[in-house]
């Protein structure tokens, strides 16, 4: 049940505040003083996830640039590596990575030019094209994934928090309906 703006409760910190978290001190200290109504948590969720996303993108992009890959290329290679045969329909690949088919097709073009994937006709559906991971594509995906685990790699600042971070985000992801691979 929502409360009216006049009766909105004061924001309360549920978890212990990590020392020096600018988001907590910058928002919680000012929320009510600036006349904002309701609780700050929706804004803080968005800001927190957005900031973490920016950090992860920057760290990942640095690693991928060294290998001539884009984020979309990396996602496509790793997704193909996760399939049971290392290949799938172009349309299925688009659904799996939740990207527009045109973006996936353009990225597959780039990966094919680099020798990391190849297109093959579907054996029983003339309308469908399969995208298949090459040995070089599998090796490239594996190299990036290993680099992301390295103690001095792009995600080094996360230390031992990688699994904990996934597990902390998982209930929220599932709650909003992210239940399809």
pLDDT at 80: 94
pLDDT at 126: 85
* CA 24 – CA 30 distance, rounded (Å): 10
Architecture of domain 70-146: Orthogonal Bundle (1.10)
Structure tokens at 156: 């080094």
Structure tokens at 162: 């990688």
pTM of the model: 0.77
- The answer to whether the beta carbons of residues 80 and 118 sit under 8 Å apart is no
Nearest to 80 by CA among 110, 108, 109, 114: 108
Please give the C-alpha separations between residue 143 and each of 60, 139, 148, in angstroms, as whole numbers: 13, 6, 9
Reported as a single tens digit per residue, the pLDDT across 47-77 is 999 999 999 999 999 999 999 999 999 999 9
- The answer to whether the beta carbons of residues 133 and 77 sit under 8 Å apart is yes
Reported as a single tens digit per residue, the pLDDT across 153-167 is 898 888 888 889 989
Q: Give the mean pLDDT of 117-130.
A: 90
pLDDT at 19: 65
Q: Is 39 helix (H, G, I), strand (E, B) or coil?
A: coil
pLDDT at 85: 92
Reported as a single tens digit per residue, the pLDDT across 97-110 is 889 999 999 999 99
Helix (H) or strand (E) holding 89: strand 87-89
Please give the C-alpha separations between residue 23 and each of 75, 92, 150, in angstroms, as whole numbers: 30, 39, 28
Please give the C-alpha separations between residue 170 and each of 16, 102, 165, 167, 175, in angstroms, as whole numbers: 21, 29, 9, 5, 8
**pLDDT-above-90 percentage for the chain:** 51
């Amino acid at each position: 049940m929502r409360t009216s703006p006049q009766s909105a409760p004061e924001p309360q910190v549920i978890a212990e505040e990590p020392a020096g978290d600018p988001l907590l001190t910058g928002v919680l200290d000012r929320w009510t003083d600036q006349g904002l109504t309701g609780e700050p948590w929706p804004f803080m969720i968005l800001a927190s996830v957005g900031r973490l996303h920016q950090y992860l993108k920057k760290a990942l992009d640095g690693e991928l640039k060294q290998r001539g890959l884009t984020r979309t290329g990396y996602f496509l290679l790793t997704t193909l590596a996760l399939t049971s045969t290392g290949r799938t329909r172009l349309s299925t690949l688009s659904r799996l990575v939740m990207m527009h088919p045109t973006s996936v097709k353009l990225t597959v073009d780039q990966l094919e030019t680099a020798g990391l994937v190849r297109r093959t006709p579907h054996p029983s559906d003339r309308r469908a094209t399969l995208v298949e991971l090459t040995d070089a594509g599998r090796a490239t995906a594996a190299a990036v994934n290993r680099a992301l685990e390295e103690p001095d790699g792009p995600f080094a600042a996360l230390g031992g928090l990688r699994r904990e971070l996934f597990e902390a985000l998982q209930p929220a992801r599932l709650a909003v309906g992210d239940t399809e691979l």
